[in-house]
Amino acid sequence: MTDIAVRVENLSKQYRIGGAQARYKTMRETLMDMAAAPARRLRRLGRPAPPEETIWALEDVSFEVEQGEVVGIIGRNGAGKTTLLRILSRITEPTEGYAKIKGRVGSLLEVGTGFHPELTGRENIYLNGAILGMKRAEIERKFDEIVAFSEIEKFLDTPVKRYSSGMYVRLAFSVAAHLEPEILLVDEVLAVGDAAFQKKCLGKMGDVASEGRTVLFVSHNMAAISALCPRSVLLEEGQLACYDDTQEALEKYLNLGAVLQRIPLIERKDRRGSGRITLMDVSFTDPQGTPTPTIRSGQDTRACISYVCKDGVPLRNVVVSIAFDDYLGRHLFSCPSRISGEPFDEVPPSGRMICAIPRLPLPPGTYTFHLFCGVNNETGDWIRHAGQVSVAEGDFFGTGRLPEASRRGLLVPHHWDVE
Amino acid sequence: MNTTVDDQQTGTVIPPVHEAPTILIRPSRGWVALNLRDLWNYRELLYFLTWRDIKVRYKQTVLGAAWAVLQPFFTMVVFSVFFGQLAKVPSDGIPYPIFSYCALLPWSYFAGALDRASNSLVGSSHLITKVYFPRLAIPISAVMAGLVDFGIAFVVLLGMMIYYGFTPTTAALTLPLFLSLAVATALAVGLWLSALNVQYRDVRYTIPFLTQFWLFATPVAYSSSLVPERWRAWYGLNPMAGVVEGFRWALLGKEPPASLLAVSTVVVVLLLIGGLYYFRRMEKTFADLI
């Protein structure tokens, strides 16, 4: 019998939700609460506790990963992928259930954790290595390798605050890539750096996988998941939707996308901007405005973005943009209303902004999109990685044919002549 | 024969040599074990965090390590002028400047360490939410980092001892004990405050008050001999009183503050154990609350 490296049993995690005020209670409130608690408890005696505002970020998830297996974890934003990884990394405790892990665990929830801008590259390699759980002797042994991989030899004694973001990420990933735990938990760290470096990182991940280590890999990068992971866990709203061959799981995942036509953005905390306008959700529809289960290459497509203005007042001078990235995070194209010459002089307090894209130039695949909305030359709301959209095969050229997968970038309408 | 039982037993009792440790992750309830062994396994991280704090402190400062000396030194000057010269606070026959500097030395270490330790967890939120390690390493490293400043400021004290003609006796050998007591006090209080600070951000604002009141409650500018004899042991309830008088005894040859020290030590040990358990109890909520 093969060894089970990770065993997850009925794992659940509950979070209390509420505004920022509810999170940081002040001491006075707590003291008042404590004083009032006995009376409240007395009154409540024998009755069930009132429902609190809580959500289950993870609910009753069970699965097993054998030693040496590489398992992908997929699901949309907020499905519980990161929560699962955080529990397995022992950053946060589960509310119910348990997980058993056999072996030394290394977790990469982010690259460059603990990097200090004032310290030099050399110093940060040691610091970051130690934070990731490497022994000093181990870091010393791998030091040259790390530096060579990161390609920053020349800047080793420069404080990292003077690094370009590319250099910073390369150094950070190099340290992380040389971590040698028996079980590796990875969260979306490949969504960084330029394309060439990403390729290198994917290669390194492949090496790790082939060395017989157990890997749990969270990613939105479907190509990477299907290349690296034979099996995948699909999470949907905190529950295990399936644990199967990656192809099966991916198919299920893409179908889930079809069912959920409207991509909600309200819960998103990672937005930037003044907040004068809030983007609420996005849906992709056909030209008539009917939500379509799938969008297809070459189809006339509309992206409808619902929004609400702060304080319910109409806003003037509004620009909006949607941008698409491919699975490697490479920018493909964007549709900025400012450039196309259609800024809105005034928008109603709430409504939908609609971007019509005739003959969608995207070949089949999964794409990430970003949303931006500016008010009066200021960022009103900006959500990077707002969501994902999968594009199905469609007849872009009217010939029933599409370029083969390796030759796809963007589809451009064209015409050939000979004279 | 009960071979199955045997098999099971050998299977669980004697793991193969290469067998890796098994980690069980499950919800903990109530008070939990201190698990200091885990902290010991992460001692290198403790070292690196301390080293980082020290390094970063002096990067991009013009005066660098001089800051470690300037603060206690100028406080000493101010104290000497106002309390020593003008108010004529009795200093048990010891020249007032060295009398106060000898106390300011452990005091500034303590005040600095307490402040850093209390804010350490909140300041390390990016680590706490992204990677696992025993969280105790954070306040401990914050407390340890201050020792370098202490060492630098101590050199000035040695200079003053030569100037005022104090020859160290064998009592000076006990100095590490009093320094440990100061470290333990800073850590004990720091553990409580840092864990509280995660949940209640009010704590951050109370620390300046706390250190200010505490300074006046500690015989830094005056001598504990101002306190009536029969109350003096109770004065040890403030552990910094024990530390300060201990320093004066070890270096300047005041009479030994035995009863005071005994009380201080007991208080610190209790505070520290309580702090450790409280910290461990709250630890599981840090990543969710911070």
* Candidate from A10-24, A268-282, B229-243, B246-260 with smallest mean pLDDT: A10-24
Residue from B19, B32, B40, B132 whose CB has the most chain A CBs within 10 Å, to mutate: B132
Using the beta-carbon criterion (under 8 Å), do A91 and B128 form an inter-chain contact? yes
Burial bucket for residue A332 (CB in 10 Å: 0-12, 13-18, 19+) = middle
- Residue A340: predicted pLDDT: 86
pTM, entire model: 0.73
Contact A94 B25 (CB under 8 A): yes
Distance CA A88, CA A101 (A): 8
- In A181-322, which ranges are continuous DSSP H helix? 195-210, 222-228, 246-259
B-chain residues near A132 (CB < 8 A): 131
Q: CA distances (Å), A149 to each of A239, A345, B69, in order? A: 38, 51, 43
d(CA B45, CA A104): 16
CA distances from A13 to A60, A85, A296, B26, B214 (A): 9, 12, 37, 11, 42
- CATH node for A56-259: 3.40.50.300
Cα distances (Å, whole numbers) of residue A65 to A159, A184, A213, A214, B42: 41, 12, 11, 8, 27
Helix-helix angle B258-289:B239-252, to 10 degrees = 130
**B105 φ/ψ angles, rounded to the nearest 5 degrees:** -60, -60
- Judge residue A389's burial from the number of C-beta atoms within 10 Å of its C-beta, 0-12 exposed, 13-18 middle, 19 or more buried: buried
Distance from CA of A92 to the nearest CA of B (A): 6
Residue range(s) of every CATH 3.40.50.300 domain in chain A: 56-259
Residue A286's pLDDT is what? 79
Q: Radius of gyration over alpha carbons of chain B, in Å? A: 23
CB-CB neighbors (< 8 A) of A113 in chain B? 126-127, 130-131
Do B276 and B34 contact (CB within 8 A), yes or no? yes
Domain residue ranges of chain B, discontinuous segments joined by +: 34-289
Least Cα separation, residue A196 to chain B (angstroms)? 26
The dihedral sign for the CA sequence A60, A86, A275, A351? negative
CB distance A113–B127 less than 8 Å?
yes
Q: Which chain B residues are Cβ-neighbours of A92 within 8 angstroms?
A: 284, 287-288
For the four alpha carbons of B95, B101, B106 and B110, in that order, the dihedral sign comes to: positive
How big is the A-B interface in CB pairs under 8 Å?
Answer: 116
For the sheet containing A350-357, what is the strand order? A262-264, A277-285, A301-309, A350-357
Chain B partners within 8 Å of A182 (Cβ)? 20
- Asked if A131 reaches chain B (Cβ–Cβ under 8 Å), the answer is yes
Q: Which of B43, B45, B50, B289 to mutate to test the interface with A (most CBs of A within 10 A)?
A: B45
Output the tens digit of pLDDT for each of chain B's 290 residues: 333 333 333 333 333 334 567 888 888 877 778 888 888 888 999 999 999 998 888 887 777 778 888 989 999 999 999 999 898 888 888 999 999 999 999 999 999 999 999 999 999 988 998 889 999 999 999 999 999 999 999 999 999 999 999 888 888 899 999 999 999 999 999 999 999 999 888 888 999 999 999 999 999 999 888 888 888 888 889 999 999 999 999 998 877 788 889 999 999 999 999 999 999 999 888 888 87
Q: Name the CATH architecture for the domain at A263-407.
A: Distorted Sandwich (2.70)
Domain limits, CATH 2.70.50.60, in chain A: 263-407
Q: Is B43 on the interface with A (CB under 8 A)?
A: no
